[in-house]
Structures are given as structure tokens and as C-alpha cells.
């Protein structure tokens, strides 16, 4: 390279004539040196520079592709998330409805059990009342039978006339009424 510059300087010094038609080697040397520089740049700098630019272009293209893929993936994940949220919401609604129905069913069961229990208590009370009534009727029948026997005994003992029998029955009824009040 140093030789090329020296040759160019020498050519410049040699051409000192002022004739415009004279052929000057400087121009030829300048063109030759320009072509040598272009060849050197092309050989040693342009290919590495072109390779570097191609790598850079490929890197940018890869980054854009990756960014597009990442955006598509993010969009897919967002859609999946939204779908999961929708499903979760539906499941929650289903659970709420199921719990509500179960609660209503349980409330109905409790009400039916309470009605059944009340009916059992009512039947037991009616049975007990009927038993008490039957017992009271039996006691009254026994008392009436005892009273009838007592009246018959008194009638037979006294062998009274009709007016006397009537007075004795009235007295006996008063005694029974007083006895009932005491019980």
C-alpha cells in the first residue's frame, strides 16, 4: 500500500506541464489505486461486513419471529385462562345451585320429619286420651254398677213406696255429685 501511495506522489511530481491535452498518468494511477482499494475492501472488509449484516438481519428476523410466536403463545394462554375462568365460574354456579337444592331438599326433609313427629305425638296423645276416656268410662260404668247395686240393696232393704224411692234416689244422686267433686 505504501508503494502505491509513493507511485502516486511520483506521478504527481512528474506531471508539471500545463498542456491540457497531455496525458496524465495520475488519473490512471488514481483509478488503479481506487480499484485496488475497492478490491481490498471487497476481499477483506465487504464479505465480513456483508456476513455481519446478514447475521444481524437473520438475528432481527429471528427475534421478530420469536416475538410473534411469543405474542401468539400469550394470546393462546390468555384464551385458555379465560376459558378456565369461564369453566370455574360455571362450576361455582353449579356448586351453588347444587348446595341450594340440597339445602332446600334438607329443609323439606326436616319439615316432613317434623310433620311426621307431630303426627306421631298427636296420635299418641289421641291414643292416650282415648285410653284415659275408656278408663274413665270403665270407672264410671263400675261406679254406676256399684251405685245400681247399692240402690237396689237399699230399695230391697227398705221396700219403699214410690215417693220414698224417689227421695232415696235424689239423696243418692246428691251423694254421687259430692263424691265427683271431691275426685
Q: Which grid cell is 132?
A: 284415659
Q: What is the mean pLDDT of residues 129-156?
A: 79
pLDDT (tens digit per residue) in 151-169: 777 666 666 567 777 777 7
Cα 45 to Cα 59: distance, rounded to the nearest angstrom: 21
Range of the domain at 147: 2-182
Q: Which grid cell is 60?
A: 432481527
Q: Which grid cell is 25?
A: 498518468
pLDDT (tens digit per residue) in 38-54: 888 878 887 788 888 89
Phi and psi of 22, rounded to 5°? Answer: -70, 140
Compute the radius of gyration of the chain from its Cα atoms.
Answer: 67
pLDDT at residue 7 in the model = 54
User: Between helices 162-182 and 47-158, what is the axis angle to 10°?
Assistant: 150
- Residue reference for cell 296420635: 123
- Residue reference for cell 369461564: 86
More confident residue, 21 or 85: 85
Q: Check whether 105 has a pLDDT greater than 70.
A: yes
pLDDT (tens digit per residue) in 68-88: 999 999 999 999 999 999 999
Q: How many domains does the chain have?
A: 1
Amino acid at each position: 500500500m505504501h508503494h502505491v501511495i509513493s507511485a502516486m506522489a511520483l506521478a504527481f511530481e512528474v506531471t508539471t506541464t500545463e498542456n491540457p491535452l497531455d496525458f496524465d498518468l495520475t488519473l490512471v494511477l488514481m483509478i488503479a489505486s481506487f480499484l485496488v482499494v475497492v478490491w481490498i475492501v471487497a476481499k477483506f472488509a465487504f464479505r465480513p461486513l456483508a456476513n455481519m449484516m446478514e447475521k444481524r438481519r437473520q438475528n432481527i428476523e429471528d427475534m421478530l419471529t420469536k416475538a410473534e410466536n411469543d405474542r401468539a403463545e400469550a394470546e393462546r394462554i390468555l384464551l385458555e385462562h379465560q376459558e378456565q375462568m369461564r369453566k370455574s365460574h360455571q362450576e361455582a354456579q353449579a356448586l351453588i345451585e347444587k348446595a341450594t337444592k340440597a339445602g332446600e331438599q334438607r329443609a323439606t326433609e326436616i319439615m316432613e320429619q317434623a310433620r311426621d313427629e307431630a303426627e306421631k305425638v298427636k296420635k299418641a296423645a289421641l291414643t292416650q286420651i282415648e285410653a284415659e276416656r275408656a278408663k274413665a268410662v270403665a270407672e264410671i260404668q263400675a261406679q254406676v254398677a256399684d251405685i245400681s247395686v247399692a240402690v237396689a240393696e237399699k230399695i230391697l232393704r227398705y221396700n219403699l213406696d214410690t215417693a220414698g224411692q224417689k227421695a232415696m234416689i235424689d239423696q243418692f244422686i246428691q251423694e254421687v255429685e259430692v263424691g265427683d267433686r271431691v275426685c
